[in-house]
Structure 1
Amino acid sequence: MGDRHDYVALEWVKGEIAETLKQARQALEAFVENPQDSTRMRFCLTYVHQVHGTLQMVEFYGAALLAEEMEQLARALLEERVASQTEALEVLMQAILQMPAYLDRIQSARRDLPMVVLPLLNDLRAARGEKLLSETSLFSPDMSARRPALSGEYLAQRQTADLPVLLRKMRQMLQVALVGIIRNQDLPTNLGYMARVFARLEILCKDAPLGPLWQIASGVVEGLASGGVAHGTTIRTLLRQVDKELKRLVEQGADGINQAAPDELTKNLLFYVAKAPAQSARIQALKAEYSLDEALPDSNVVDEERAQLAGPDRGAMRSVVAALCEELVRVKDSLDLFVRSDRMGIADLGALQTPLKQIADTLAVLGFGQPRRIILDQIEVVEALARGQRKADDAVLMDVAGALLYVEATLAGMVGGTSEEQGEGSHLPTTDVAQIHQLVIREARTGLEQAKDAIIEFI
């Protein structure tokens, strides 16, 4: 069965989604800086809602599900229904930054694999205290092809005098086999009985809405017989539900074949067919008919795709880091002005605490723990200087400036860039190298003068 996704439509809306996510990210950053301003979180929620609606429109299930969970967490943050606001903000920011990368993977790999973003989906759900998703919840086989109901003429042909007796005998055989399987007794024989029952029912329900159930059930039995499907509690429960469908058919007669099995039962049976190795022609045919390899890809494929998505979207990250570096440059400029001055306005250093705290908060949301720790240490130093608890000597001020330079360089290194961008030079703001040289030389001269004075005094 061909790919059901419209990648041309995705290409059309990707640009709009990227711009909307950028606005969502900026609104979230503004909320982090001022958590009392709930308007910013409302803006973020609105933007994420727009992304969710767009992805629903183009019918990309995995991406739409990710956007839906992002929207739910944004709403929970707005309504203050999260246990830890800091963790929730961090997870939401990670999702906003990773969404463009996931859409790029969908576009380039030509497949939407919800299983790839399962860890992120569960992080979003855990942040608001929801139950975690499993592989089964994300399993979405192609069940769009529905068989039409048979006409009254066809049903009349199948409603023979011996049909009720035949159906009762088949159910008795199925129940005997089911009891043996539940008790784990003589599995090869009981699975053989079950396979014969399903084969007869396939013939009886050929081309009817109920027919696919027996085909899928036969695939599950083949998987059990070969060891490709694990013999566990869930499988036994599903086989009991299949028996109930046969019971319904016994009660309704030929009319019952026009009623398809419940979608949930069909989907759960297909999940185990999808997990079975494609050893038999039947299982291969079922995987092709219901696009099971796409719905439940091989674990190696999922791991490879997750590796491709490791870390947020580089373009978005570059934009965030650029804003952080600009803020760091402003702080360093203010510090440099203080160093060049008479250093009498110690209280002016207190003004640096606010931008440094904003930088630390943004780093926390991005999950950059080490740079954040360094910034928090400098906030403590600046606070102590502003209160007069520490002397504003050259060594202390140089340590603060050096720490800020280190954080800036670390952030630029984390984002990196394409080889082309690196060849052209980084676009991230940096402190003027000449200014740094002058500052270091001035401090070196001061140190040499002090050493000279000490030597002369000693002599």
Structure 2
Amino acid sequence: MVTDTAPEFDLGPLSWVQGEIDHALSRGVEALTAFKASPRDATALKHARAHIHQAAGAIQMVGLDAVTAYTDELERQLTRMEELPPPEAQAACDLVDRACRKLKIFLDELVSGANPVPLKLFPEYELMQQARGVRAAAPTDLFYPDLSPRAPKIASGKTVTPKKLPSYLVKQRRLYQRGLLAWLRGDEEGARVMRDAVQGIEDVQTHSAQRSFWWAVGALLEGIVEKGVESGFGVKQLCGRVDLQIRRFVEGSAKVADRMRREVLYYVAISAPVGPQVQAVQRAYRLPGLIPTADVLSADVVRVQPHLREARDLLATAKDLWLKLTGGRVESLPKLKQTLSAVRDKTAAIGEPSLSRLAAALADRLDKLPSGPVSEALAMEYATGLLLAESAIENYATASTELPPQVDAMIARLDTSRPAGGAAAPLLDEMARRAQERLLLAQVAREIQANLRHMEQVLDAFFRDHDKRADLATLAHDSKQIMGALKMLGLAHAEQLLTLCQQQIDQYAQPDARVADEDLELLAESLSGLGFYIEAVEQQRPDRDRLIEPLLAKRLGVPAKPHVDEHDTVEAAVKDLKTALPATLAAFQRSPGDASVRERLEAELTTLKNDAELIGDATLQTDSDAALELLAHAGTGDTAALQDAIAAIAEGRAAAPAPSPSEETMRLLETDAAQFDAELLDIYLTEADEVLDSVASSAARLKAQPDDRDALTTVRRGFHTLKGSGRMVGLTELGEIAFAVEKVHNRLLEDERPASAAVLALIDTAQTSFRVWVDTLRRKGRVTPDATALRTAIEKVDAELPAPRYPSSRARR
């Protein structure tokens, strides 16, 4: 069975700065509201940027990498507002306002113990990217699984000597490429060939991190073979980049880009568990817990969250008041009625009917309470009802279909003050047990906190005046009471920490004991940590142990475990290469006629360009390409332009360059690459002919029947195919042109509009233009498309359409 639990996240750092982050985001939203009201008020926008930048910095500090990508996008939106005309700036304000509120909710849930699932932020992230022209936001930007798990150790029957390894890997790459080409042509057997090739690569890996990567790739390919994941453009593009990664292995590099690891694991995460390897990888990396459900993504938590938060706080107050009432404090009843009346109003605003019925029933039953003491049975049933309401609010985004019958059963139990039967009985019985535990825990925690406060007061007086030692002896009684409670609750670590604190207090009680400020601070920190820990225990937070474990380790003299980063990444290699570039350029400038120095500089820039593609850094890829072009034309004279280009790339201090692959390896690679590119182009040309014939046939149907939805859908699908296949083989410009045509057809289908004369003219211009470009490619092997006429046709159709709406947000593509 695949676990759906997300990887653990250390809430310690975040919990300390969450208040600061929340405050900064709130101030940022306030400043943004002022800017929206007066778009020419640059000061308000400047303040909004400063506050949100402050929040972003704190988030980056606590290690939430996926959320850092989200805050980077927030800051980009604020920067672009400076250049927008007022109407567009006001729309952008609404977008950023919502994104900030969603971020506050996400962080609040995280600190409250929710699993860290950053993809919950994807709908707002996608809308922000679309607003600045990004056509397809990548869910993997917000997908950060723990990359530390390793593949299980399974004995391999293959043994390849280091001398034969390069030729073996070249063979596996050729096998992978044959499978990839067949799969792209529509032959499903090709995916099996790819999987076999990757299995062969995994079998010869000696480094656990690299073997784990190929194990995950094997799971992805198993998902493709067994139809667990859709073979869309994203998957095809990723499989193409896996070929680039194999090439790197053939060249002798063992580095893998973290971005590629995340992308592979994302598609394994969204795959159905169709095979043992998919299931094993999902289980090892705990991937299902990182993918939010469709209901979670579509829930309007930004509107509902304020009501949920207030209802949660009111219920916490109601539970405390009920505890006091059942303890004999009848003066709590009026306040309890008022509180539950407010809960009823808040649940009505939330809009969940079953929750509203439960809140109303809890409020109404207070008027029917018998005079005198509350019976134990009623006390438990009412506490169970409060717990059910709390559970429904905590799990609002993933509300179960079982909630309505649970509420019905709960109301019946409130009326009879005894357990009822039915399907919901087991769950309510469990809740009743938990309610009893919570009531007991609340009482014990309250007593512990009271004793801790007394200890801290006495110690505070001693810290200020060391002559007040006499009172320290009285603390043994408080400590003993707390110790008994901790023992009863089974909190061994807390008991151990308190024992160490009491030993320190006993030493201070001696008249001649030496008192060091550092030791006093540790004692104060330990008792304060115990207080936070007990609060976390009462709230049943799963991360509570991290509040006292560092204190216990410090007292016991246990050194902190050093962080070990086992795998070497492409990102790290890029950083090293960037720092190496200035030294290599300086060597080239000293000896411009030295062919070996020029080749070394060219090799480093080429490696940077290729690595940039692996990590998805388009800017670095473009900059490296430009530097290579300048190097190709740099003679023995002026190299100022080349120096400027490399200065734009380089960062940090110099480092040694990476070793170059052998000549034989390079020859094999160049032969493979040329053949592979030619075969890919041939696939594109053949597919384009078929697609354009289908478009022409559908266009004829549309002329006869302009509202033929099937024909219009076929045309749209045709240009969607040309977009994907063009991008796949490197014909990016043709892919983007096809995408522009596809978008128009998406709008037509979405608005259910018939094919007008302008639409028919657009289809004719598009398919005629693509036929010319495909023919040129076939004859010359390259093409520079002139899309002027086609873009004019698109503009004419756009003029007939209403303003576009935002497309729906999806985390799975």
TM over 0.5: yes
Q: Corresponding residue for 2:303?
A: 311
Provide the C-alpha distance between the structure 2 equivalents of 1:164 and 1:112, rounded to a whole number of angstroms: 41
Q: Report the AA paired with residue 285 of structure 2.
A: Y
Provide the C-alpha distance between the structure 2 equivalents of 1:244 and 1:127, rounded to a whole number of angstroms: 32
Q: Corresponding residue for 2:293?
A: 299
Q: Is the partner of 2:303 in helix, strand or coil?
A: coil
Query: Quick one: which of 137, 144, 154 aligns to 1:140?
Result: 144
Q: Corresponding residue for 2:44?
A: 40
Q: Report the AA paired with residue 51 of structure 2.
A: Y
Equivalent residues, number: 308
Q: Report the AA paired with residue 179 of structure 1.
A: L
| Higher relative contact order, chain-length normalized (CA < 8 Å, sep 6+) | 1
In structure 2, do the counterparts of structure 1 residues 292 and 223 end up closer, same or farther at CA, with 3 Å as the change threshold? Answer: same
Query: Quick one: which of 268, 272, 276 aligns to 1:273?
Result: 268
Q: Corresponding residue for 1:174?
A: 176
Q: Corresponding residue for 2:505?
A: none
In structure 2, do the counterparts of structure 1 residues 26 and 137 end up closer, same or farther at CA, with 3 Å as the change threshold? Answer: closer
Q: Deviations over 1:191-220 (max 9, x none)?
A: 444433333322211335532342122212
Q: Corresponding residue for 2:279?
A: 284
Provide the C-alpha distance between the structure 2 equivalents of 1:126 and 1:82, rounded to a whole number of angstroms: 19
Asked if structure 2 preserves the Cα contact closer than 8 Å seen for 1:27 and 1:44, the reply is yes
Q: Is the partner of 1:84 in helix, strand or coil?
A: helix
Asked if structure 2 preserves the Cα contact closer than 8 Å seen for 1:97 and 1:316, the reply is no
Provide the C-alpha distance between the structure 2 equivalents of 1:145 and 1:43, rounded to a whole number of angstroms: 43
Q: Corresponding residue for 1:206?
A: 206
5 Å-filtered alignment, 1:7-46, equals: 7-46=11-50
5 Å-filtered alignment, 1:431-442, equals: none
In structure 2, do the counterparts of structure 1 residues 50 and 146 end up closer, same or farther at CA, with 3 Å as the change threshold? Answer: farther
Provide the C-alpha distance between the structure 1 equivalents of 2:205 and 2:97, rounded to a whole number of angstroms: 52
Q: Corresponding residue for 1:119?
A: 123
Q: Report the AA paired with residue 218 of structure 2.
A: S
Q: Is the partner of 1:17 in helix, strand or coil?
A: helix
5 Å-filtered alignment, 1:98-113, equals: 98-113=102-117
In structure 2, do the counterparts of structure 1 residues 63 and 42 end up closer, same or farther at CA, with 3 Å as the change threshold? Answer: same
Q: Corresponding residue for 1:259?
A: 254
Q: Is the partner of 1:140 in helix, strand or coil?
A: coil
Q: Report the AA paired with residue 296 of structure 2.
A: E
Tell me how far 1:79 sits from its aligned partner: 4.8
Query: Quick one: which of 183, 186, 189 aligns to 2:185?
Result: 183
Tell me how far 1:45 sits from its aligned partner: 1.4
Provide the C-alpha distance between the structure 1 equivalents of 2:308 and 2:27, rounded to a whole number of angstroms: 11
Q: Deviations over 1:236-264 (max 9, x none)?
A: 443344344445545x5xxx3x6123444
In structure 2, do the counterparts of structure 1 residues 166 and 107 end up closer, same or farther at CA, with 3 Å as the change threshold? Answer: same
Provide the C-alpha distance between the structure 1 equivalents of 2:274 and 2:223, rounded to a whole number of angstroms: 9
Provide the C-alpha distance between the structure 2 equivalents of 1:248 and 1:93, rounded to a whole number of angstroms: 44
Q: Is the partner of 2:274 in helix, strand or coil?
A: coil
Q: Corresponding residue for 1:3?
A: 7
Provide the C-alpha distance between the structure 2 equivalents of 1:115 and 1:180, rounded to a whole number of angstroms: 34
Q: Report the AA paired with residue 195 of structure 2.
A: A
Q: Deviations over 1:12-55 (max 9, x none)?
A: 22222222233223333433444443222211211111111111
Tell me how far 1:271 sits from its aligned partner: 2.5
| Aligned-pair identity (%) | 24
Whether 2:52 is the aligned partner of 1:58: answer no
Q: Deviations over 1:277-333 (max 9, x none)?
A: 1233321222234343344x1434xx2365262417528999xxxxxxxxxxxxxxx
Provide the C-alpha distance between the structure 2 equivalents of 1:29 and 1:116, rounded to a whole number of angstroms: 25
Asked if structure 2 preserves the Cα contact closer than 8 Å seen for 1:91 and 1:124, the reply is yes
In structure 2, do the counterparts of structure 1 residues 61 and 4 end up closer, same or farther at CA, with 3 Å as the change threshold? Answer: farther
In structure 2, do the counterparts of structure 1 residues 2 and 22 end up closer, same or farther at CA, with 3 Å as the change threshold? Answer: closer
TM-score, normalised to structure 2, is 0.33
Asked if structure 1 preserves the Cα contact closer than 8 Å seen for 2:56 and 2:71, the reply is yes
Q: Is the partner of 1:123 in helix, strand or coil?
A: helix
Q: Report the AA paired with residue 299 of structure 1.
A: T
Q: RMSD in angstroms over aligned alpha carbons?
A: 3.9
Provide the C-alpha distance between the structure 2 equivalents of 1:111 and 1:59, rounded to a whole number of angstroms: 15
Moved more, 309-318 or 11-20: 309-318
Provide the C-alpha distance between the structure 1 equivalents of 2:263 and 2:208, rounded to a whole number of angstroms: 20
In structure 2, do the counterparts of structure 1 residues 159 and 20 end up closer, same or farther at CA, with 3 Å as the change threshold? Answer: same
Whether 2:216 is the aligned partner of 1:216: answer yes
In structure 2, do the counterparts of structure 1 residues 159 and 6 end up closer, same or farther at CA, with 3 Å as the change threshold? Answer: same
In structure 2, do the counterparts of structure 1 residues 41 and 117 end up closer, same or farther at CA, with 3 Å as the change threshold? Answer: same
Asked if structure 2 preserves the Cα contact closer than 8 Å seen for 1:174 and 1:197, the reply is yes
Q: Report the AA paired with residue 139 of structure 2.
A: E
TM-score, normalised to structure 1, is 0.56
In structure 2, do the counterparts of structure 1 residues 159 and 83 end up closer, same or farther at CA, with 3 Å as the change threshold? Answer: farther
Tell me how far 1:144 sits from its aligned partner: 5.0
Q: Deviations over 1:64-92 (max 9, x none)?
A: 44433333323333454776122122223
Q: Is the partner of 2:127 in helix, strand or coil?
A: helix
Q: Is the partner of 2:206 in helix, strand or coil?
A: coil
Q: Deviations over 1:368-387 (max 9, x none)?
A: xxxxxxxxxxxxxxxxxxxx
Q: Report the AA paired with residue 267 of structure 2.
A: Y
In structure 2, do the counterparts of structure 1 residues 73 and 82 end up closer, same or farther at CA, with 3 Å as the change threshold? Answer: farther
Asked if structure 1 preserves the Cα contact closer than 8 Å seen for 2:66 and 2:143, the reply is no
Q: Corresponding residue for 1:355?
A: none
Provide the C-alpha distance between the structure 2 equivalents of 1:25 and 1:238, rounded to a whole number of angstroms: 38
